A = this chain, B = another copy of it.
């Protein structure tokens, strides 16, 4: 699957992933009103609004980018109907040829981690049937529980040619509380990065591994070090744009081959119509605003890569 992602990055010339993290506040009134009129101010109504909003954005951007990253929390908050909208979004994006990174940040141990890996990347056996629960291509995974939590994901990645991105250094202000603390003179995130590199070695597919890492755009000096620590891993980079990460800071997340990183933007793209820069599109043409924001982001990142 990492080879598919690489091929799509090369085809679109866009090392960019669009975060499908719908908040009701981002969704234009006309979509919400229609959904609530049809289904009430219910979980079903909210889920329908989310789905219609996602679909319009995906239709507007699917030819520009290799991948999308739906954040499952934003769907889970609308209960079962919300998760149905998540599943519909995953299926629709895959139909449109997009690689789907499920931002699920799951992590547990043993058979429980295996169940999460099955849920998001694998197939579950029921009697003699093999069934696909959610069917993303990649998932994000939390490393706090150690190898016991990661190994079941590696097994599914190898068996199903899927991939994971393991949290190493997250983009948020307080990520340093634990992740930056020194252990034998090195920060915890570097220790986690070294384990990611070990796990990555077990799951190679060409020049890259099925095992990648999450490193926030907001800590570029750390990103530079982690690029060296995990040479075989793709880095999924959150924090560009709305969280403050700039394209010039991100060039060191890439390898010399121009690959090795994929930069996420969520509200910067999906809520572009609410920004001053794209306000002229108006609420009706919100998806066109998203398309313009993707084009600007891709240009910004590619210019920075050319100037490095």
Contact = CB atoms under 8 A, between A and B. Distances in A.
B77 A124 contact: yes
Given A42-B131, A107-B142, A145-B175, 5 more contacts: A46-B124, A109-B175, A142-B142, A148-B173, A188-B188
A176 interface: yes
Nearest to A44: B126
B178 A192 contact: yes
A279 to B, nearest CB: 22
Interface string A85-125: 00100000000000000000111111111011011100011
Greatest chain B CB density within 10 A among A76, A80, A110, A149 is at A76
A78 interface: yes
B119 A73 contact: yes
Interface string A169-181: 0111111111101
Contact of A124 (B78, B131, B145, B173): B78
A129 to B, nearest CB: 4
Contacts of A172: 109-110, 145-146, 148-149
A258 interface: no
Nearest to A181: B183
6 contacts: A32-B127, A74-B112, A79-B119, A82-B133, A143-B178, A183-B183
Interface of A: 21, 23-24, 32, 36, 40-43, 45-46, 71, 73-74, 76-80, 82-84, 87, 105-113, 115-116, 118-120, 124-129, 131-134, 142-149, 167, 170-179, 181-184, 188, 191-192, 195
B109 A106 contact: no
A73 B114 CA distance: 9
Contact of A79 (B36, B41, B131, B146): B131
A73 B116 contact: yes
